[in-house]
């Protein structure tokens, strides 16, 4: 979808938010919370990509979490989304997105759809997003949320993330939102030369790594320590 098509989405989102959050007053309250979230939790901690900051202000995080924790949606912490899974804290979502170096033509693969929030943010700064969730109930719920909110440049698949999405490869960027114990070679193979992968690697406590695929191999940079749920599924590296 081109930039003109994506530009329509915030208007549709605003109308839906007003309905789902109880009218304009509630909508404005959440808008103010998103502004503070970006200013205090994200920009203040060093994320400088204007397109990422704008996406974080546009995407309604409160609509990707259960109603029971909706009023906590813009706090700087992960929140439960069911099936023992969580939505990552906003800073980590913004940091991982910014590390990918996306533009409007980028084709992105996400491993671990979860609530769909990270995919929604990616869709505001990339051209096309392909996202895989191994847990069927979560994946179907995320797909419905994304469709209802008008994110039409995202495709959701229920399946094993270790296998990637070979028929759509190569990808400009790959983001993994669960932690494998080592970098999956199947995903590296689906990354374009010069492409970037952001992935938490390890067991209980992981290192968030930025990986760039070069003609000489993989250039790796340790970014920050993180804690994600383990990546499940079976692949060639298992």
**Residue closest to 143 by CA, chosen among 163, 133, 67, 111:** 133
CB-based burial of residue 73 (10 Å sphere; 0-12 exposed, 13-18 middle, 19+ buried)?
buried
User: What token pair was written down for 172?
Assistant: 């400009």
d(CA 86, CA 61): 13
Catalytic residue list: 88
d(CA 98, CA 51): 9
Q: Which residues pair with 128 in a beta bridge?
A: 107
Question: Virtual CA dihedral for 75, 78, 80, 81, nearest 10 degrees?
Answer: 90
Residue 91 dihedral angles phi and psi, to the nearest 5°: -60, -45
């Amino acid at each position: 979808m081109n930039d003109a098509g994506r530009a329509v989405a915030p208007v549709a989102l605003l109308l839906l938010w007003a309905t789902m959050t109880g009218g304009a007053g509630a909508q404005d309250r959440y808008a103010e919370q998103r502004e503070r979230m970006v200013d205090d939790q994200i920009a203040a901690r060093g994320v400088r990509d204007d397109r990422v900051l704008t996406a974080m202000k546009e995407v309604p995080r409160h609509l990707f979490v259960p109603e029971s924790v909706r009023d906590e949606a813009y706090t700087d912490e992960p929140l439960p989304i069911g099936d023992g899974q969580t939505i990552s804290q906003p800073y980590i979502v913004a940091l991982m997105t910014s590390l990918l170096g996306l533009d409007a033509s980028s084709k992105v693969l996400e491993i671990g759809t979860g609530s769909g929030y990270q995919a929604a943010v990616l869709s505001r700064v990339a051209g096309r997003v392909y996202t895989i969730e191994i847990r069927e109930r979560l994946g179907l719920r995320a797909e419905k949320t994304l469709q209802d909110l008008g994110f039409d440049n995202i495709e959701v698949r229920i399946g094993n993330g270790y296998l990637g999405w070979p028929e759509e490869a190569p990808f400009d960027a790959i983001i993994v939102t669960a932690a494998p114990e080592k970098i999956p070679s199947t995903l590296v193979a689906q990354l374009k030369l010069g492409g970037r992968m952001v992935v938490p690697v390890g067991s209980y406590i992981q290192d968030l790594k930025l990986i760039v695929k070069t003609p000489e191999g993989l250039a790796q940079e340790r970014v920050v320590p993180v804690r994600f749920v383990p990546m499940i599924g079976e692949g060639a590296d298992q």
